[in-house]
Amino acid sequence: MAKTLKAGLLGFGYAGSTFHAPLLLSVDGVELRAVASSKPERVHAMLPDVRVHASAEALLADPEIQLVVIATPNDSHYPLAEAALRAGKHVVVDKPFTLEAWQAKELIGLARSEQRLLSVFHNRRWDADFLAIKQLLGEGRLGRVVHFESHFDRYRPQVRQRWRESSAPGAGLWYDLGPHLLDQTLLLFGLPQAILLDKVGLRDGAQADDWFHAVLRYPDKRVILHGGTLVADVGPRFIVHGTEGSYSKYGLDPQEDALKEGVKPGGACWGRDEKPGRLLLTDRQPVAYAGPDGDYTRYYAGVRDAILRGAANPVPAVEAWQAMVLLELGRHSADQQSWQTVPASLAC
């Protein structure tokens, strides 16, 4: 059995250079051997010892590569993942999985027939703040949760010239941040009964939505997912109300900022959140509450173990497909200005 997983990276924009390359380089038993990019000088400046292919086709034809990581614009995820699977490669796709839910379902079937791992990079399952929420709810200290809010707000008043903020398919804040918030919600509470979404472009010159507000209906609770780019005074990242108390958390997980600054993942303090949340139980004074350290490297360690040792897929493609269906239902909800029912078959 192979001891090292040899990976190739498609795309070296923000996601590829900030997240995927540093994480792949930091996980024992994983080797980043090649990158496909139209800007080889940028790749070599950061990765002098890594081969650079001029095209995705050239990288997929590389017999040494076992795992292909797709960190390209959203509208290319489906065709590139399909080509990689047909080339006999294991595949990791950055979020959102695809543009349409049917594309995700087709890729799942293809991966099964090719007997290859297919996973989606929902790295925020390993955010420190989210891990604190999971731990707190697992302890049951809030009683029955009745209200949950997850905000991802920023102050970015200028529209940048990049595909994420263009009018291209798959652009906009709902498709950028919605997958993270939906994935975390599904892990905590499972599938909702219905979704209602409003989204709009509010910045001067906006070409895509840069504000969204989603409400997910559950039998015993309501979940609010919100994102905006004109929020100078940022409120809580999480708010949770239960029958026995409440919890609020300010500030984002520190890993993305650390990666942007070029800090190597790992080490004793990696992913440590210095801003614990506030827990208020009905019969006590408020106290600080923190969970485990965050660690995005656990995702690629899980991919390594799934491919080389038969362990569980850290983010099964079926779970990412469920998030895609909700993402799509949200889009329909915004277009039609109505609640969209989540099909019962989605749980199958």
- Judge whether 305 lies within some domain: no
Domain termination residue (choose one: 101, 121, 141):
121
Whole-angstrom CA distances from 193 to 214, 218, 239 are 13, 6, 21
Mean pLDDT to the nearest integer, 160-176:
91
Residues 164 and 150 in one domain: yes
Nearest to 245 by CA among 88, 136, 327: 136
- Residue 345: predicted pLDDT: 87
pTM of the predicted model as reported, rounded to 2 decimal places: 0.95
- Domain extent, residue 191, equals 124-253+269-294+327-341
pLDDT (mean) for 34-52: 95
More confident of the two residues 346 and 146 = 146
Specify whether 148 is located in the same domain as 69.
no
Q: Taking residues 278-295, report their average pLDDT.
A: 94
Considering the chain, what is the average pLDDT of its residues?
Answer: 96
Nearest C-alpha neighbor of 119 from the set 348, 305, 283, 332: 305
What CATH number corresponds to the domain at position 212?
3.30.360.10
In this predicted structure, the answer to whether residue 5 has a pLDDT above a threshold of 60 is yes
**Looking at 71, 87, 121, which one is the last position of a domain?**
121
* pLDDT above 60: residue 1: no
For residues 231 and 163, the model is more confident at: 231
- The tally of domains found in the chain comes to 2
Q: Is residue 74 part of a domain?
A: yes
What does the pLDDT average to over 124-151? 98
Q: How many Å apart are CA 29 and CA 52, to the nearest integer?
A: 21
